[in-house]
Structure 1
Amino acid sequence: IAQCLFIAGSGFSEVAKARASTSKVSCCHFSSDGKLLATGGHDKKAVLWFTDALNPKSTLEEHSMLITDVRFSPSMTRLATSSFDKTVRVWDADNPDYSLRTFTGHSASVKSLDFHSNKEDIVCSCDSDGEVRCWSINNGSCVTCVRVFSGGATQLRYQPHQGKYLAAASEKMISIMDAETLQVCRNALKGHIKNIESICWDAAGDYLASVSEDSVKVWSFTSGNDGECVNELNCSGNKFNSCVFHPNYPSLLVIGCYESLELWDIREKNTVTISNAHDGLIAALAASNASGLVASVSHDKLVKLWK
């Protein structure tokens, strides 16, 4: 029934929207309980939103250049932000008047970051020189630093729940590293013809999706199957940019494009287009397993919630 709803195009609709910024919004993420949403972008600010009515809770204003990524801790009320100003900042979402930690050490723009799935003390970040650093929040120091790529790193994400791997995208490849040691490189996922814009894990950590402007690939990490490409969707028109697995339908991938969203049923190999979802590039998507909501942010300065 769920699949039929989506194929009919009637099972996914906008439920709220707000002006998130005075300029382009480029990243978003839900807290683990689904009650807060963080957004960030070109105005150097991160905004915390109450998701029930999409009202702003607070604005975080310490970065000196645009914000590239926002991530909540899976187990605490902490939030981390990365920026072109080469810093990573960690905040308490309950008391966000000032950052708890500012990590400096990257020699280039920090492009992405994520909290370790199982170790609440660790946050990891990557920069445009291809360097990956892991930081201890308690100690306020860098605990691991590796140069992973010859090209710049685009995005990194820890495998949820299992926390076995750290996936990091750079140009046309995804490096799969051991989450504990950052040994480079357990596996290199190759096959994209154009640069990868976005990656995301499903909630169970069994599948990783990667998006370039002309294709989406899904890689399996089920037992004995680590890193096999099991599904691919080629772009038939609108360029792809961002992705997230639907929180209620694990075989459904939501893909952000320019102005539109694509709903790809991986199992049934069907797609539905949600036209005019935004008035610009859909830069990032987030999903909340707690609330069943999907968030989208765009260069049109808006944040929207979908269900």
Structure 2
Amino acid sequence: MSTNIDPLSVEEEEGEEEEGEEEEQQEKRRGAAGAWNRESPVPVKVLRGHGDTVTTARLCFSDRRLLSCSSDRTAILWDVESCRPLRVFDGVHGKTISECALIPNSNRMVTVSWDKKMVAWDLETGQTLWKWRQGGLLTSCSASSDGCLLVCAADPQNGVYISDAASGQRLHHVSDHHRSTITRCRFDPQSQRVATVSADRSIRLWDLLVQKTTVSIDSNHGNVVSDCCFTNNGHFLCTASWDKTLKLWDLEAGGFRSHGGTLLQRGHEGSVSCCSFSADANLLVSGSYDRTVALWDMSSLCQTLQLKGHSDWVTDVSVSADRKLVASASKDGTVRLWDIDNMEEIPEVMEKRRTEGSGIHILKCEECGKPFPVSRLQTSELLTQCVFCRLRSPSRYRPQPPPLM
């Protein structure tokens, strides 16, 4: 007899099964790839196709498709509805594919690998469009929102390469950008800046217009900064760290210069490996070495739900545009699709919202006049407007010259 300790867990219960029964169960799981497992309040689908750690899982094409890549040196384009692989991309990379990214306004993706190669693929035909070998093993990549540029991070040079997306031709090389390995590189939504985070615990913003580092932040994270993500308007940046925390940075107000970032409270029990905002920035999703996926309400900066089911580290997360689906990749070799459409009806979520007041202040927004909750640790710049008014505000970003040396 087994006991389901956590009501949100969808892990298979351990028990003594005959060998034939075990094979039958495995066959059922393979055959029902497109069916939701509804044993939990959060229905889940499991995508099995990779033979090793899945390093990336990204919903794309109006959330009808999903891109994944793996240490097994392949990438897969999945159909979300059926959870079947539509195309497998292999035979090019010789080592772990560390990340893949869809190139906007196109039917192409780019993959980067520890084999030092950056490769562009045609998603429809599976053919390679171009290949470029860079100066080091590649740890991350990102495409600009206009589909014109690509950036990838290289180790041990601790630098980034910015390339033309159409040809792969190198346009800029920023060497020794950090003091240690760059774990993630991201274009801001306006395609004006590249954000990088690193094992050296710092955050840097490199401006494409002036071709200089215009912002350098000591994150005060207690360990490696493993990931970062922008809100859609570029005002906020979230960082994830191996110190088990996430921080929110208001790049528009600039208060981080004196107050630092805003800590998201009561989070993971293990190192945080990844983070991703929803399109409206009301939801943040994070993944951790504790094998869980966490959902955060950005109006209160508090965690509302943990998703359990992966049997190893969660390496990447993605959220659909309508906030109904969350995708997660794991070292366990699977991708999981979580249906969070009815999350607010889960008793555990309702109870959390009811009891969350201990770490929250209620303030009045100076813009719309409505009350809004904020963490006690939020900086003064974040206390004047609710998150919705801040996100609606026009960008006041202007490139700043680098400090004189």
- TM bracket, shorter-chain basis: 0.7 to 0.9
Contact 1:217 1:233 in 2 (8 A): no
More strand per residue: 1
Match of 1:121 among 142, 148, 153: 148
Which residue in 2 is equivalent to 1:75? 105
Contact 2:186 2:195 in 1 (8 A): yes
Task: Pick which of 253-262 and 290-299 moved more.
Answer: 290-299
> In the superposition, relative to structure 1, how do residues 290 and 265 fare at CA in structure 2: closer, same or farther (>3 Å)?
closer
Deviations 1:19-77 (A, max 9, x none): 13111111122224322211111100011111222210111111110010011112222
Largest Rg, 1 or 2: 2
Aligned runs of 1:147-296 on 2, under 5 Å? 147=175, 148-160=177-189, 162-171=190-199, 172-213=201-242, 214-222=244-252, 229-233=261-265, 235=267, 237-247=269-279, 250-257=281-288, 258-289=290-321, 292-296=324-328
The offset of 1:179, in angstroms, is 3.5
User: Are 1:21 and 2:50 matched, yes or no?
Assistant: yes
TM-score between the two structures when normalised by the length of structure 2: 0.67
Which residue in 2 is equivalent to 1:299? 331
Contact 1:260 1:273 in 2 (8 A): no
Moved over 4 A (4+): 223-228
The offset of 1:243, in angstroms, is 1.2
Deviations 1:105-159 (A, max 9, x none): 22x21000111122x2321111122121111233442111111122111110111
Q: Which runs of 5+ in 2 are unaligned?
A: 1-7, 10-39, 340-405
Number of corresponding residues:
295
CA distance in 1, matches of 2:105, 2:218: 29
SS at match of 2:72: coil
Which residue in 1 is equivalent to 2:370? none
Contact 1:35 1:50 in 2 (8 A): yes
The offset of 1:193, in angstroms, is 1.3
CA distance in 1, matches of 2:203, 2:155: 15
Which residue in 1 is equivalent to 2:87? 58
CA distance in 2, matches of 1:132, 1:123: 10
Contact 1:71 1:81 in 2 (8 A): yes
Deviations 1:1-24 (A, max 9, x none): xxxxxxx99x98244221131111
RMSD of aligned alpha carbons = 2.6
CA distance in 1, matches of 2:42, 2:278: 13
Contact 1:32 1:75 in 2 (8 A): no
> In the superposition, relative to structure 1, how do residues 116 and 12 fare at CA in structure 2: closer, same or farther (>3 Å)?
farther
Contact 2:162 2:172 in 1 (8 A): yes
Which residue in 2 is equivalent to 1:3? none
SS at match of 2:87: strand
Task: Pick which of 128-137 and 297-306 moved more.
Answer: 128-137
Which residue in 2 is equivalent to 1:45? 74
SS at match of 1:286: strand
> In the superposition, relative to structure 1, how do residues 193 and 291 fare at CA in structure 2: closer, same or farther (>3 Å)?
closer
Which residue in 2 is equivalent to 1:134? 162
